[in-house]
Structure 1
Amino acid sequence: MNMNRRFFLKSGSIALASFGLMSSAPSFLQRTVAQALSASGGRRKTLIAIFQRGAVDGLNMVVPYGESAYYDYRPNIAIPKPRSEDGAIDLDGFFGLHPALAPFEPLWREQRLAIVHAVGSPDSTRSHFDAQDYMETGTPGRKGTPDGWLNRLLQAHNDPHATPFRAVAMTPNMPRILQGRAPALAIQNLSDFTIRTGGNAAAGVQNGFEALYEQLTNDRLLSAAGKETFEAISFLKRVNPNQYKPANGAVYPRGRFGDALRQIAQLIKSGVGLEVAFTDIGGWDTHVNQGGARGQLAARLEEFSQGIAALVADLGPLMDDVVIVTMSEFGRTARENGNRGTDHGHANAMFVIGGATRGGRVYCDWPGLKSDQLNEGRDLALTTDFRDVFGELAQKHLRVTDLRTIFPGYTPAKFRGLLS
């Protein structure tokens, strides 16, 4: 378990619920969590952000099959029209889902899933590193922003009853989106409890809880909290997250992505005060042999949709208080390249699922795919700034009132009405 000194001082002690075993927790843990739950009325809104790293091909993910140019540009990798073999799943007579996204179809029909198309960063970079940084900091075109927009959201929405599990990234390292002054945890695996904090964390202790405690007990400022902190850590070691069993027949895909989503569900169900969760999934940079209805991209989309659908099923009625949003740094070129793949593009598609989502709709001002309608003659043009989507979720779901502190220098201009 890796934590920096500042986190311990700010938290005082680690106040956590057990993962379904609260009755065996130390008494001070039970009191702290009970107070937090009482202050929130026993229910907490949660935002889950999922990053598709590598720039997913939004045109094959959410297919504009009503555009003849789409098929002209992609003779080898286009998704056939609905009602064809391996055809797209029809949504509204113009757009369709890639067939590998079949687990999303029930969510669409139940109006629990909304799609935003032609969305992304207004910055024109085609660099993965820069584009991901801009999306995670919420400041496109501005390098050097010290914190992520989700961390600024936590700072703007101060919660005096917050637990250390208020913000969690199920990733090996703290992502840019959660770095900043507000405490956050990066947890690679609940079974290992290898945790790091956000901000300017020092090098972590790699050899277990005892080594961490030995390092910190000489700090005079920690002496008051040290005993309770170590008691909490010892308690966490006795909890076996592997005992968790998903509900409602949910089956998560094998691998890091499925494991991350399963553990996010576990944290939500355990009532540890989770407000913001983050994870990511890579493998979307399909320059070569992308495939169409089957192949490389299809395999990634299958894992992606199966994982999210399992999370929704597992949470059941708790999804009323949860919103999932997906993102990717930019889209891909409208035309396939000579390697039967696609290159770095511009606008893309995002999914919003759960909570008060007004689903069953594709939200966009469709720019068209004719040559003179493309960005720089090659990409889907942008008609929605990603900050408009994030801003609406922050304001309507998490009740953040002043978005200027989250997206400095920008006033969200076009809320789409994604949430009721």
Structure 2
Amino acid sequence: MDRRYFLKQGGIGLASFGLMAAAPNFLHQFANAAIRRDVYGKKKVLVTIFQRGAVDGLNMVVPHGDGEYYNLRRTIAIQKPNQTDGAVNLDGFFGLHPSLKPLEKFWQSKQLAVVHSAGSPNNTRSHFDAQDYMESATPGVKATRDGWLNRVLQGKSGKEESPFRAVSMTGQLPRSLYGRAPSIAMTNLADFAIKAGVYTKSVQGGFEGIWQENVKDSLSETGAETFQAVNFLKEANPAQYKPENGAVYPNSQLGRSLRQIAQLIKAGVGLEVAFAEANGWDTHNNQGGARGQLANLLRDFGQSIAAFATDLGKQMDDVV
């Protein structure tokens, strides 16, 4: 198999599942996103953060007003507010883990809300199944092909949809974005994969030279448009991005992801759904209480979100 055959076959793969007709238009929109920002207008943005491994919600948002919490968690309970390593009081009954102190000001300004007792009704003991059900939003049903975020996008389709409409700051498309609505998976803005739903082949910027050298048929225009889109994001130069309002992002997976999501929001490219994830929440007996593994994870979580909200400033009015 030579390079020309490989690239042609890779391009023809776009025809699978009936996507050939839609793919060139999608890529054409993507390539021209930089000059069509005015078309997309002001967008509301939903940012979803998946805490993979299942965070301990009772030590993240502490029911310090419930005596049973302390009876049942004698070794890992978070102390009451105003005590050493105590919870950050919210309403006299609930409080935040002390590592989430950076989020307190957003609660006080009514920008932060906590939805309690919300989760899956399925009682599986498998973390993998539980995560799958959360991302498909069909508890107990493994056959669901699309994810809940993709169904949201499908239900809000319009004539002028930005190719940056849904972006996941991950190496692979998350289960929640599987489906017909186009979305993008990337780990950074300079090196990313384009996915039209879950079904298409990935297109990597490193193939540009080979493509131009070998492909001379009807796919070449689509390929050129794709690489124009790659170059547009490279020109955004994320390494030179300067957060505003004194925001300082942690140098962590989540911190880097939210920093780049903020950059896309400010760029006005029509972003509507953004996905980020943080790993390591399955802490088992290494969890600790106010200090330890969970505390370290929550510190990064709180600092990353606080930096994101601070960086966006008034633009947070359009972000959930």
Give TM-score, length-normalised by structure 2: 0.88
After TM superposition, the structure 1 = structure 2 runs for residues 1-80 of structure 1, keeping only pairs within 5 Å, are 5=14, 6=19, 8-15=23-30, 29-37=33-41, 43-80=42-79
Q: Which has the higher helix share?
A: 2
Give distance in 1, aligned partners of 2:79 and 2:104. 17
Give distance in 1, aligned partners of 2:207 and 2:222. 15
* 1:208 maps to 2:212: no
User: Is the partner of 1:117 in helix, strand or coil?
Assistant: coil
Give distance in 2, aligned partners of 1:91 and 1:231. 49
Report the Cα offset of residue 14 of structure 1. 4.3
User: Is the partner of 1:69 in helix, strand or coil?
Assistant: helix
Give distance in 1, aligned partners of 2:284 and 2:34. 52
Residue identity opposite 1:208 in structure 2? G
Alpha carbons of structure 1 residues 293 and 227: separation in structure 2 relative to 1, 3 Å: closer
Report the Cα offset of residue 196 of structure 1. 4.2
Give distance in 2, aligned partners of 1:9 and 1:207. 17
Give distance in 2, aligned partners of 1:233 and 1:90. 46
Deviations 1:4-36 (A, max 9, x none): 7347324141436xxxxxxxxxxx555433323
* 1:298 maps to 2:298: no
Report the Cα offset of residue 69 of structure 1. 1.4
Alpha carbons of structure 1 residues 225 and 113: separation in structure 2 relative to 1, 3 Å: same
Contiguous gaps of at least 5 residues in structure 1: 17-27, 38-42, 324-420
Deviations 1:62-114 (A, max 9, x none): 11111111111111111011111111111111111110110111011111111
Alpha carbons of structure 1 residues 72 and 318: separation in structure 2 relative to 1, 3 Å: same
Report the Cα offset of residue 192 of structure 1. 2.4
Residue identity opposite 2:126 in structure 1? S
* 1:318 maps to 2:315: yes
Report the Cα offset of residue 231 of structure 1. 3.7
Q: Which residue of 2 aligns with 1:99?
A: 98
After TM superposition, the structure 1 = structure 2 runs for residues 143-182 of structure 1, keeping only pairs within 5 Å, are 143-182=142-181
Deviations 1:323-363 (A, max 9, x none): 0xxxxxxxxxxxxxxxxxxxxxxxxxxxxxxxxxxxxxxxx
Residue identity opposite 2:36 in structure 1? T
Asked whether the 8 Å contact 2:182–2:195 carries over to 1, the reply is: no
Across the aligned residues of Structure 1 and Structure 2, the Cα RMSD in angstroms comes to 2.3
Which runs of structure 1 show a deviation greater than 2 angstroms over 4 or more consecutive aligned residues?
2-10, 28-37, 191-198, 204-207, 211-220, 222-239
After TM superposition, the structure 1 = structure 2 runs for residues 349-360 of structure 1, keeping only pairs within 5 Å, are none
Give TM-score, length-normalised by structure 1: 0.68
Alpha carbons of structure 1 residues 218 and 44: separation in structure 2 relative to 1, 3 Å: same
Give distance in 1, aligned partners of 2:241 and 2:171. 21
Asked whether the 8 Å contact 2:154–2:180 carries over to 1, the reply is: yes
Deviates more, 1:309-318 or 1:7-16: 7-16
Deviates more, 1:162-171 or 1:62-71: 62-71
Q: Which residue of 1 aligns with 2:244?
A: 247
Contiguous gaps of at least 5 residues in structure 2: 1-9
Asked whether the 8 Å contact 1:169–1:279 carries over to 2, the reply is: yes
Q: Which residue of 1 aligns with 2:129?
A: 130
User: Is the partner of 2:286 in helix, strand or coil?
Assistant: coil
Q: Which residue of 2 aligns with 1:326?
A: none
Residue identity opposite 1:112 in structure 2? Q
Alpha carbons of structure 1 residues 31 and 238: separation in structure 2 relative to 1, 3 Å: closer
Residue identity opposite 1:44 in structure 2? K
Deviates more, 1:207-216 or 1:294-303: 207-216
Give distance in 2, aligned partners of 1:278 and 1:239. 20
Residue identity opposite 2:296 in structure 1? A
Deviations 1:174-231 (A, max 9, x none): 00000100100001111323444431233x35561415744994553x3554444444
Deviates more, 1:261-270 or 1:251-260: 251-260
Q: Which residue of 2 aligns with 1:379?
A: none
